[in-house]
Amino acid sequence: MMKGFASAGDLTEKTVSFTEVGRDIYAFTAEGDPNTGVIVGDDSVMIVEAQATPRLARKVIDCVRSVTDKPISHLVLTHYHAVRVLGAAAYGAREVIMSATTRAMVAERGQEDWDSEFARFPRLFQGHEEIPGLTWPTTTFTGSMTVWLGTRRVDIAQVGRAHTAGDAVVWVPDEEVLYTGDIVEYHSACYCGDGHFTDWPATLDAVAAYDPRAIAPGRGDALIGADRVAEAIANTKDFIRSTYRPVQKVAARGGTLKEAWEAVRAECDPKFADYAIYEHCLPFNVARAYDEARGIDTPRIWTAERDREMWDQLQG
């Protein structure tokens, strides 16, 4: 029998926080669940990340309506994962923006990701019956683009591969606030099942080069002040390196996935075992690191069959 994912039994509701991280700029966070950003411009609002379902998106909208009655005009999706994008319909935004790479990933593996995440993390799909289908952009970009919300400038950019190949960040220069998507996490495990371990540290350096006054990470608390920002970036880099380094050593000597799993547990458990979604992410992180260390550059698509294959190997 296939072992169950740690998240399948995670049914505890999380406490929502809605934090102002700059003038008219907010972070919707929920104790390690996916975060959403809110940027209020002169005449309209931009949302960063949609949540997994329209029902969950309406929790964000309720928070938006507590601070402004301006219409939601733009929705930016930093990557393609189902828990980030499938609530998009609730916002009614006229512009849905993602990188061209991310759109290609929706086409290639969006349905498989939806199926997989729904099975693995049921609590995040409350009201899933309302999801109208895969989320597609109205606008794509390569490299970078700028959106003007009246006089407020918002820059959207690809700064390197990390959590996925299509990751984007959202920068509000007038307040020096950066939304990092899942490139950066805070006291939450990084999900690396579709990641690029070798590239990720340099991408974190590119995030740090913005010198943000505040960041809203993909998961975990909003972070205000240079010291907290630096701590989160350094901690994320340590998580990535601590996961990949032991797997590299195992793969280099021709070791098995199970041996890689044991090596990562020995390295990471003492530092990260109390992080949100740590146990959920661990098998995917080890499996992807093992693939990358053996020269597989493009992450393989996750399916139920692949989940079973992974657990068979991890259980020996």
Check: CB of residue 21 under 8 Å from CB of residue 224.
Answer: yes
Question: Torsion over CA of 105, 108, 109 and 111, rounded to 10 degrees?
Answer: 110
Residue 9 has pLDDT above 60, yes or no: no
Average pLDDT over residues 208-220: 98
Confidence of residue 238 (pLDDT cuts 50, 70, 90): very high
List strand residue ranges (DSSP E) for the chain, in order: 17-22, 25-30, 33-40, 45-48, 72-76, 95-99, 139-141, 144-149, 152-157, 169-172, 177-181, 214-217, 223-224
Section 38-49 average pLDDT: 98
Q: What is the pLDDT of residue 1?
A: 34
State the average pLDDT over residues 201-226. 97
Token pair 């296939």 in the structure block, residue:
2
H or E segment to which residue 157 belongs: strand 152-157
Is 245 exposed, middle or buried (CB count within 10 Å of its CB: 0-12, 13-18, 19+)?
middle
Please give the pLDDT value at position 121: 86
**The pLDDT value given to residue 67:** 98
Beta-bridged to residue 181, according to DSSP, are 217
Mean residue pLDDT of the chain comes to 95
Per-residue pLDDT reduced to its tens digit, 269-316: 999 999 999 999 999 999 999 999 999 999 999 999 999 999 999 987
242 band by pLDDT with thresholds 50, 70 and 90:
very high
- In the predicted model, is pLDDT for residue 208 greater than 90? yes
Residue in the block written with tokens 């049921």: 122
Considering only CA atoms, which of 143, 170, 160 is closest in space to residue 201?
Answer: 160
Q: What is the pLDDT of residue 316?
A: 74
CB 11 within 8 A of CB 2: no
Task: Flag whether pLDDT at 183 surpasses 70.
Answer: yes
Mean pLDDT across 176-184:
98
- pLDDT tens-digit readout, 123-140: 899 999 999 999 999 999
> For position 8, what pLDDT does the model report?
54
Residue range 73-101: average pLDDT?
98
